[in-house]
Structure 1
């Protein structure tokens, strides 16, 4: 019994010596602003819907069908919707020569052409399918505002305000498949300048 009464004060003294030996001086309350309130993430800004024209076939001819896109509109989203085929109401008058694809495609733009990489195993597209794709891309590219031109080192833009707002004009589409490549111009698209 005598040993346990002596052990408790010695353990307390050892703990006190250990804490004071670490070199942290005692301090009072330090005022350092407002208390932490957790992580803050700004709410995403709602985007305004954009109406684009998807070209489906009506009696074998490419025809524009307006479609409203809620998500951020870009060429990849537009091409994805085109490959999704016509809606039930559009299917009353529209067909498609494009294969129905559910997954996202790799869509890139450069110069005056848009490239679409298809999944492996698909056969080359037909001429009506290529025309659907070229017309949709050409029309959609005029629906989106272009990014402003890169400023010069001094901070001034190299383009006039009208040029900075002009959307890029994609006049052809290149489709890359499993061992094949096809290119289609939008020159034969109805309703395009």
Structure 2
């Protein structure tokens, strides 16, 4: 009897290992793959990309044009965007520029706590007054940290340097202000009067 029980157990084990007589087959594709529980719905509060007011010329006057900026807090990136000139949309709105096209990247630094220095490489002649105002207004209203006024007159200034020339402009000399629509895209400097 013990022998029969062992034989029965062995046959049952072999049957289980043999798959109960069900023949093997390849993968059969039918329907969509199984999925788990759905995740949370996408949020509608995605942050808007930062915008900065770039000042181009409209009828010879500096005018703010909002532009998305990947790094609105980096003043060098903002100045590079300005030096690239107006895009097609801005040109269609009559935007022009008096700034030179550069072969090298500009350098932007805060030199003494209240002076922003912009170096334009390979620029042998000084920029025009209109070009200087484009830079001055863009720097004044950029979303980057602004130097705290500490000069004799308390006004931060912009210093633009090229090959053997330098021009200086107080940021208060910017005659234009971004409109509310332009300013809605990004913060202005703290402490600046509008």
* Runs of 4 or more above 6 Å deviation: none
Q: Is contact 2:56–2:96 with CA below 8 Å preserved after alignment?
A: yes
3-state SS in 2 of match to 1:129: helix
Q: How far, CA to CA, are the matches of 1:91 and 1:169 in structure 2? A: 35
**1:107 alignment partner in structure 2:** 108
TM-score by length of 2: 0.58
Per-residue deviation, 1:90: 0.3
Q: How far, CA to CA, are the matches of 1:121 and 1:61 in structure 2? A: 23
Unaligned stretches of 5+ in structure 1?
Answer: 1-46, 147-166
**2:168 alignment partner in structure 1:** 183
**2:128 alignment partner in structure 1:** 126
3-state SS in 2 of match to 1:100: coil
Per-residue deviation, 1:82: 0.5
Q: Is contact 2:104–2:122 with CA below 8 Å preserved after alignment?
A: no
3-state SS in 2 of match to 1:89: helix
Per-residue deviation, 1:187: 1.9
3-state SS in 2 of match to 1:98: coil
Matched, 1:87 2:115: no
Q: How far, CA to CA, are the matches of 1:135 and 1:186 in structure 2? A: 7
Q: Is contact 1:51–1:67 with CA below 8 Å preserved after alignment?
A: yes
Q: How far, CA to CA, are the matches of 1:80 and 1:57 in structure 2? A: 17
**2:69 alignment partner in structure 1:** 69
Aligned pairs for 1:24-173 (under 5 A) are 49-71=49-71, 73-92=73-92, 93-101=94-102, 103-110=104-111, 111-140=113-142, 143-144=143-144, 146=145, 167-168=146-147, 171-173=156-158
Q: Deviations over 1:55-74 (max 9, x none)?
A: 00011110010111124640
Q: How far, CA to CA, are the matches of 1:169 and 1:135 in structure 2? A: 17
